[in-house]
Structure 1
Amino acid sequence: MSDRPLRLVLCWHMHQPEYRDTQTGEFKLPWTYLHVIKDYVDMVAHLEAVPSAKAVVNFAPILLEQIEDYSNQVNSFLHDRIAIKDPLLSALADPSVSADPERRLKLLHDCRKANRERQIDRYPVFRKLTEMAEWIQTHQDAINYINSQFIADIIVWYHLAWMGETVKLTDSRVQRLIEKGSGYSLHDRIEILEIIRDLLSKVLYRYKSLARKGRIELSVTPYAHPIMPLMLDMRSAKEAMSDIQLPALEEYPGGAERVHWHLAKGVQTFKHFFGFEPKGCWPSEGSVSEATLKVLTDFGFKWAASGGNVLRNSLNAVDMTARTSIHHPFRLESADINCFFRDDGLSDLIGFEYSKWHADDAVADLIQHLENIANFSTEESVVSIIMDGENAWEYFPDNGYHFLSALYQRLAEHPRIELTTFSECLEQNIAAVMLPKLVSGSWVYGTFSTWIGDADKNCGWDMLGDVKKAFDKVVSSGALTEHDLALAEKQLAVCEGSDWFWWFGDYNPGEAVSDFEQQYRLNLTNLYRLLGEEPPTYLALSFTQGSGAPAMGGAMRRGNAIY
């Protein structure tokens, strides 16, 4: 048993892909602002409430830009009545709540996209409105007999259900609107927009303020969240899965240059919002390879992190598993950067199991696991709990309020557990274990199977390869102005994001697959048009459908494939 407290790093990754049609500026999906008002404000409020708590919070740069855009749009509407380019959010301010029957059906459909047990059924009025909306969806002619008040009330309730628990407990405006229950006026709907404006405009400053005080560490991912190892060398997917089927593309053209672009743009964007350069990088999806760590070293990052199975695969490759704990920083012999590895078991308990437990029991169980690790540690250890910072909480009662409150408070007070950050661990000179070899992989299963290998995912890569070749041809011709080149580079980055490939495949839910593959085809089409090229005809056709029912709707994965 070590004399030092067990160091624990809680790392929350905040990430949404680019949901805008970059040609029109319209948000095609509302998840960025909904997660702001529910999850990002709740997480920072929990951290603010326990001064001795610490955590690492990672932001995808393309998410930061969308938060800023939403904040500016809502402000512009409230001050100058400039239209908001998000159909669901703008519906709050529509005086007639849209008289168009198709638009009304779409609103009723969209206002049911919430956790049924935790967000809808929690409120009897919202549950009743939802049941009526479901009936209307199966009897669509009835939409002509539905009045505007019904539409207004379900839109209001949808946004109230998505409000963070800390907002519901502290904002008297939200409390009044919940208490009112029905008959919401245009004034009420404008008031919700004002609440959303306040949350959007302050949320990033609140994180920045905690970082300045040393209470959290902020870190970054590459700009649009690409899978860097696959861009650097697509064959790296074979290191953890030798039989994986690669796309016909085989190699992403100019991948190293694009990785450098994403990292440089990501750091630039991060610095724009927070005023300093990050010390650490959570590579998109914890995806790492030896080449990736070398690039991160060149960019000056002091730490990176990945999944526990990446470490296990790497230790197995050099016969170090039997004598090496995962609870340390590691350093690849060929790259001067420390790498921390996720404790998949503990992280997945939070993500998939504790939502079914009483909050006090769940926190006690987690602490028991940590105490067991401390009991068997003979040297300074660092446990890394790394997980999605936004999608788990809707499965908990009250958006995880009771669990997170108890978690931070009990950990901060625990005599044998020290909440810390990755950078603080390095500043305290915790010895890194040298790693002779790194087997490429991600935090999901230790492989890249979530993003490549499936026929539909490979098709997506081949489409991306086609547009990249068109991009390279047009750029080399010198046909683009400096301004148009910058737009095309950014649009290419959006196409290179990991999220599109995450959702391709029939094991995912049909509606989510449809939403993301449509957005992907739109992104590729927009890039061809920016290049002055005619989009291929295949972009007019859907190429992947889903019919699965994965846990948590497919928005999260377990670190291990088999439990």
Structure 2
Amino acid sequence: MASDTKTPVVLCWHMHQPSYQDMNTGQFLFPWVYLHTIKDYSDMAAHLEKESGARAVVNFAPILLEQIETYLVQIEQWRYGAGEIGDPLLAALVADELPEAGSPAFLNLMEKCLRANPERIIRRFPAYARLADIADVYQQKPELQRYISNRFLSDLLVWYHLGWMGETIRRKNSCVQSLQEKAYDFTMGDRRALLDVIFEVLSGIGPRYRHLAQKGQVELSVSPYTHAMLPLLLELESAREAMPEIALPDHSHYPGGEARAGWQLEQAKAVFQRFFGIEPVGCWASEGGLSQATLTLLSDQEFRWTASGDSVIHNSLKQAREQHPDLPDTGLHQPYTFGESAVSVFFRDDGLSDLIGFTYADWHAEDAVGDLVNHMETIASEARGKSSPVISVIMDGENAWEYYPENGYHFLDELYRVLAHHPELELTTYSDLVARPMAEPARLPHLVAGSWIYGTFSTWIGDPDKNRAWDLLCEAKIHYDRMMENGNLSAERKESARKQLAICEGSDWFWWFGDYNPAQIVSDFEHLYRRHLVNLYEKIDCPAPPSVFQQLSQGSGEPARGGAMRPGHEADKPA
């Protein structure tokens, strides 16, 4: 529990990937679940394990946890000859035969093995860099392709996985170290040994975070089951609260959205309980997306806290002051409640969080942490005397670190070390803060609906491509409701369709649509979204309409950090 003499600081790391698995075939279309697990989720646990005085909130999207589990099952089945590994990259790592040079399959696999940060991952390792140079020649001079041996692809697969390996694993695991020293001519034994390391890391994620929670170092919290945007499921019109002129989809509402939003939370709690054996106290509603109706739903589901971005509280305070001009400026750095809801709402300090996400990667670790802590000290000084001050840093637990040297190893170690022993700041958790006696949140009459990005929902709705995606989802939901009620679907088929619909409701598809994003990533995600919709129609025995097979979005932008992260404020939005 936070001390009354120190200013509480909460570091909230959000661990999230959408569903990359085709539920009809069992195949993973993209490898980001297992790659971020071996690189980021493992490292984030290790830094906390190393510094016993450190504390943090770690939030998991349940669909991520289930996909990690699926990888473990598939690898184990493959080991015993009872099935295949459903991820093409991971399967290729231990495949007896690899595609022939010059074939489309060879080129496809080679290109996938180069999807890593060029400077921080590929160029860090001379052997990996040489392979990347050969690949460049291969692509530019196709007449040379026939002279490339499969040894090249075998070594490239190993280096791809070594490059994505977490820094804390790299520094301790003897197998990883010996493979790096060997550098080339990897045998099948080498490749299988590397798969064993990957399996070990994947299998340790749940137990490691569960142990950190049992020790009191980590509060584990949860997001809606498939990371759905609850306010938009509940009411598409809520987007107008922060952006009155926003263009909305042709469908005025998402059919049965209230029931679906409730199901998303109920399913999230069930998965969370199965993995961690406890009930979550808090919910990071996907993308910090909140509305007054969302707070009511979270309260009904017995959550005690949630959080969003600082533009949401600024918008809510502005609206409250228009009605009550004498309302004091209670500011960002404290919890609030809104209307009749008893759920405590905390707000991300976008300035501090975005410094980690967009600025400090190129700084020396001690300088970066010193600068961040200096900002925190200033905030703490200004908040002294308030009834319940708290400084919140909330951000993805995975996407920033590939831009840092050695996956953020030095920065995170220094951050936890300094904050764990700071005389005026104290790392704590939201559940501890809401349990404190005499810590009454400030109360406002209404929360202006929005997310942590710009305080609006513009990242997920309003753009023509995003709106068309919503219309496709609404149309699919209408058919779903009809077939679930009047069709001849078995109980098993209905349950499968229910989960498939939830996957289609995930926020990530809408995030990536629009010209702002890179063409390759937009192509990946819009194809995956439409495949999920096609699978839904198949599961309800209903033909998919032609519109589902038409490309939704192309993308042509170059946003900071590839668009996987966004700044919190509109003023910081890249051109």
TM-score with structure 1 setting the length: 0.98
Structure 1 counterpart of 2:230: 228
How far apart are 1:135 and its partner, in Å?
2.3
CA distance in 1, matches of 2:23, 2:138: 33
Equivalent residue letter for 1:48 = E
CA distance in 2, matches of 1:140, 1:463: 41
- Is 1:10 matched up with 2:8? no
Which digits, 9 at most, give the CA deviation of each residue in 1:174-194, with x for residues without a partner? 011011111111111111100
Structure 2 counterpart of 1:515: 524
Distance 1:91 1:3, change over 3 A: closer
CA distance in 2, matches of 1:427, 1:255: 32
Equivalent residue letter for 2:569 = N
Equivalent residue letter for 2:249 = P
CA distance in 2, matches of 1:311, 1:236: 16
CA distance in 1, matches of 2:340, 2:13: 28
How far apart are 1:142 and its partner, in Å?
3.5
- Is 1:423 matched up with 2:428? no
Which digits, 9 at most, give the CA deviation of each residue in 1:308-355, with x for residues without a partner? 100100001112786212111111122111010100000000011010
Structure 2 counterpart of 1:290: 292
How far apart are 1:426 and its partner, in Å?
1.2
CA contact under 8 A between 1:412 and 1:419: conserved in structure 2?
yes
Structure 2 counterpart of 1:77: 78
Which residue of the other structure, out of 494, 503, 515, is the alignment partner of 1:506?
515
Equivalent residue letter for 1:239 = E
Equivalent residue letter for 1:273 = F
Which residue of the other structure, out of 320, 323, 334, is the alignment partner of 1:328?
334
- Is 1:410 matched up with 2:410? no
- Is 1:472 matched up with 2:473? no
Which residue of the other structure, out of 158, 161, 164, is the alignment partner of 2:163?
161
Structure 2 counterpart of 1:92: 93
CA distance in 2, matches of 1:315, 1:13: 26
How far apart are 1:34 and its partner, in Å?
0.1
Which residue of the other structure, out of 542, 545, 554, is the alignment partner of 2:551?
542
How far apart are 1:478 and its partner, in Å?
4.1
CA contact under 8 A between 1:77 and 1:83: conserved in structure 2?
yes
Percent identical pairs in the alignment equals 50
Equivalent residue letter for 1:294 = T
Equivalent residue letter for 1:7 = P
1:562 alignment partner, SS class: helix
CA distance in 1, matches of 2:472, 2:313: 32
2:184 alignment partner, SS class: coil
- Is 1:32 matched up with 2:38? no
How far apart are 1:145 and its partner, in Å?
2.4
Which digits, 9 at most, give the CA deviation of each residue in 1:387-443, with x for residues without a partner? 011000000000000000000011001011100000001112322011111100000
CA distance in 2, matches of 1:53, 1:81: 43
Structure 2 counterpart of 1:434: 443
Equivalent residue letter for 1:393 = W
CA distance in 2, matches of 1:493, 1:83: 26
Structure 1 counterpart of 2:65: 64
CA distance in 1, matches of 2:566, 2:240: 21
2:570 alignment partner, SS class: coil
Equivalent residue letter for 1:457 = K
Structure 2 counterpart of 1:353: 359
Which digits, 9 at most, give the CA deviation of each residue in 1:23-59, with x for residues without a partner? 0000000000000000000000000001111000000
How far apart are 1:462 and its partner, in Å?
0.5
- Is 1:362 matched up with 2:364? no
CA contact under 8 A between 1:18 and 1:63: conserved in structure 2?
yes
Structure 1 counterpart of 2:208: 206
Which digits, 9 at most, give the CA deviation of each residue in 1:337-383, with x for residues without a partner? 10101000000000110101100000000110111111112224111
Structure 2 counterpart of 1:52: 53
Which digits, 9 at most, give the CA deviation of each residue in 1:273-302, with x for residues without a partner? 001110000000000000000000000001
1:280 alignment partner, SS class: coil
Moved more, 79-88 or 119-128: 79-88
Which digits, 9 at most, give the CA deviation of each residue in 1:493-527, with x for residues without a partner? 00000000000011100000000000001000001
Equivalent residue letter for 2:56 = A
CA distance in 1, matches of 2:145, 2:73: 34
CA distance in 1, matches of 2:234, 2:140: 49
TM-score with structure 2 setting the length: 0.96
- Is 1:551 matched up with 2:551? no
2:450 alignment partner, SS class: coil
Q: Map 1:138-157 onto structure 2 (within 5 A).
A: 138-157=140-159
Q: Map 1:260-409 onto structure 2 (within 5 A).
A: 260-319=262-321, 323-377=329-383, 378-379=385-386, 380-409=388-417
2:448 alignment partner, SS class: coil
Distance 1:3 1:211, change over 3 A: closer
How far apart are 1:141 and its partner, in Å?
4.6
Equivalent residue letter for 2:71 = Y
Equivalent residue letter for 1:14 = M
Equivalent residue letter for 2:434 = L
How far apart are 1:562 and its partner, in Å?
1.1
How far apart are 1:81 and its partner, in Å?
6.4
Distance 1:77 1:141, change over 3 A: farther
Equivalent residue letter for 1:417 = L
Equivalent residue letter for 2:69 = E
Structure 2 counterpart of 1:114: 116
CA distance in 2, matches of 1:423, 1:139: 59
CA contact under 8 A between 1:327 and 1:381: conserved in structure 2?
yes
Distance 1:524 1:3, change over 3 A: closer
Regions of 4+ moved over 4 Å: none
CA contact under 8 A between 1:129 and 1:154: conserved in structure 2?
yes
Structure 2 counterpart of 1:526: 535
CA contact under 8 A between 1:61 and 1:224: conserved in structure 2?
yes
How far apart are 1:542 and its partner, in Å?
1.2
* CA RMSD in angstroms, aligned pairs only: 1.3
Note the residue ranges of structure 2 that are not aligned, 5 or more in a row: none
CA contact under 8 A between 1:109 and 1:137: conserved in structure 2?
no
How far apart are 1:480 and its partner, in Å?
1.4
